[in-house]
Chains A and B, each alone.
Chain A
Amino acid sequence: MIGIRIHGRGGQGAVTASRLLADASFRDGKFSQAIPMYGTERRGAPLVAYVRIDDVRVRERELVHEPDVVIVLDPLLSKEQSVASGLKKGGLLILNSKLPPEKVEIAGDIKIATVDATKIALETLKRPITNTAILGAFSKSVGYPTMESIEKSIRKQFPGRVGEMNIAAIHRSYEEVTPVVQATHTEPVVEESDIAVGGYGVLKDVSSWRVFTPIIDLDKCTGCRSCWLFCPETAIQWKDDRPEIEYHKCKGCGICVEECPVKCIAFERVVV
């Protein structure tokens, strides 16, 4: 049996990814199980889902505490949470990242493969929803489920044009995922922070929620206050009659970009 933990953010489709993996494995003749972990899963907030795949009926009902494979759908999550926590010795980490696996600063006796799933999703789906994009990388690095079965599961979940776009995404990630390599940093995983899911209340820094970052061109700004007025998170402060973004409060929703009447706020994908 293998156990899988999927880290994502609300809106990236971690729960759907877990279902698709389980469904495709079942089509391949295996037994499988998908477990969503429901918190108050706000769009952008970190969350996890689990999958089990086995050749015999899966009897376990608890969460997967020591996964064989961890999938990370968001490039910045690994900066916020110890995504490798509990990962078995020799286990595999599949990261959505622009970095080659050798440059990934996650330590342990683990293997790593990376794929720029955000880029693939933006190009094939036109939206940064990385859940299907990463499944091709999983199939290539782990050896199953077969791409045919993943395709069938996707067509069932997303009939029509959306399904075909997602299928294009899995094929690209199958091609573009790096080979699996041993983690360069070898010290065992020591961080023991809990796997947190989103909750209520006040947060310290939501920078990592952003896919795109608003950048104001003050030379063109007319001082109309729209961006300040409509930011739900008060991330835009009003200083000396000009807007100033406090980036630790910015979730990258894009409202300010949309509302600026002179279009002087750019929305850029920040390289990480």
Chain B
Amino acid sequence: MSERINRLQIPMEELTITPGSACQGCGAALAARLVFKAIGPNAIRHRIPCCPDSTTAHPSANSVFESGGAMLTGTWRGLKAIGRTDVQVVGFFGDGGTYDIGFQSLSAAAERNENIWVITKDNEAYMNTGNQRSGATPIFARTSTTPVGSVIKGKQMRKKKIAKIFAAHGIPYIATTSVGYPEDLIAKINYGKTVEGFKMLIIQSPCPVGWRYDGSKTIAMARLGVQTGIWPLFEIIDGEKFKLNYKPRELKPVTEYLKPQARFRHLTDENISLIQEDTAKEWETLLKSDELGRVLL
């Protein structure tokens, strides 16, 4: 499991080449910055189509959504063949890539337990192309493909529990984290760097444009997601061992997270209670898992 670090242990070196072309206040741009600080320079970073987060000083190639897992696999096998097993192979992908379009090749790479990183900046929609819903979009959120009409208001399906889906592949390490908790994020990368095999990190990365809030509130929004239990921080080892990393005595009500985001502006009281119930139920399962030290579905 990851070992807690404090702020003074966060590496000073910046691997990102800035300023980049992300929007003002982009959570994903910060996610990339923090991730690669911890990964360090000895890495190859691959991309598939997504928003321009932050460019980093790593060798990098771009491919299509569908072959993210294959590209990372090939890179790792090549490094192994030439004896450079010291190099980290990292895919830094969007949620559309991980949850939906690129899922099959990632699932296959997870099944083969390739020695790679798959890091997902989860902004809960296809943002680069103008906020279309993805499998990561939460229920009732308004996107350009789940608009608020007179009959149907926002997305009608729940967000996929992607961490548990990948955990079910039995991979050595998967964790969720958030740009609002950089110490947690970096501690998890530090741990993952010691693990051989398929490693995954899902990072909550608020998007002021798609979620429709003021860009200065990106960190506040990330923290509220965690403090309301909507975005729990946990880690799962070998598809089994479980730890909940953030356990407040009491969760904040979900409205504190939902209300400031205009993508949820149309929610009725019933919608909100459904989200509150879902969150409470999942939280209970997570607490129980934490107690047992073993993940429950």
Contact = CB atoms under 8 A, between A and B. Distances in A.
B209 A43 contact: yes
B29 to A, nearest CB: 4
B214 A254 contact: yes
Interface stretch (B11-19, B79-87, B233-241): B11-19
A185 interface: no
Contacts of A238: 12
A230 B12 contact: no
B19 A255 contact: no
Contacts of B30: 230-232
Given A232-B33, A234-B33, A258-B219, A42 B52 contact: yes
A230 B21 CA distance: 17
A251 B52 contact: no
A40 interface: yes
A37 interface: no
A233 B14 CA distance: 10
A187 to B, nearest CB: 33
Interface stretch (A55-63, A104-112, A142-150, A196-204): A196-204
Interface string B1-34: 0000001001010101111111111110110010
Contacts of A209: 24
B208 A43 contact: yes
Contacts, number: 108
Interface in A209-260: 209, 224-225, 229-235, 238, 248-255, 257-259
A232 B53 CA distance: 9
Nearest to A45: B21
B216 A40 contact: no
Contacts of A224: 7
Q: A45, A230, A251, A253: which has the most chain B beta carbons within 10 Å?
A: A253
A229 B215 contact: no
Given A40-B52, A232-B25, A257 B19 contact: no
Contacts of B215: 43, 253-255
B220 interface: yes
A203 B52 CA distance: 12
B54 interface: yes
Given A206-B19, A234-B16, A254-B214, A201 B52 contact: yes
B216 A233 contact: no
Contacts of A250: 19
A196 to B, nearest CB: 11
A258 B208 CA distance: 14
B113 interface: no
Given A43-B208, A229-B7, A229-B182, A253 B21 contact: no
Interface string B204-239: 000011000011111110000000000000000000
Nearest to B207: A43
A257 B216 contact: yes
Contact of B24 (A43, A200, A202, A225): A43
A41 B85 CA distance: 39
B33 A198 contact: no
Given A199-B52, A202-B18, A232-B27, 20 more contacts: A10-B209, A40-B51, A42-B23, A43-B23, A43-B24, A43-B209, A45-B21, A200-B21, A201-B55, A202-B20, A206-B19, A224-B7, A232-B22, A232-B25, A233-B19, A234-B33, A250-B19, A253-B215, A254-B214, A255-B219
5 contacts: A230-B179, A230-B219, A232-B30, A254-B215, A258-B220
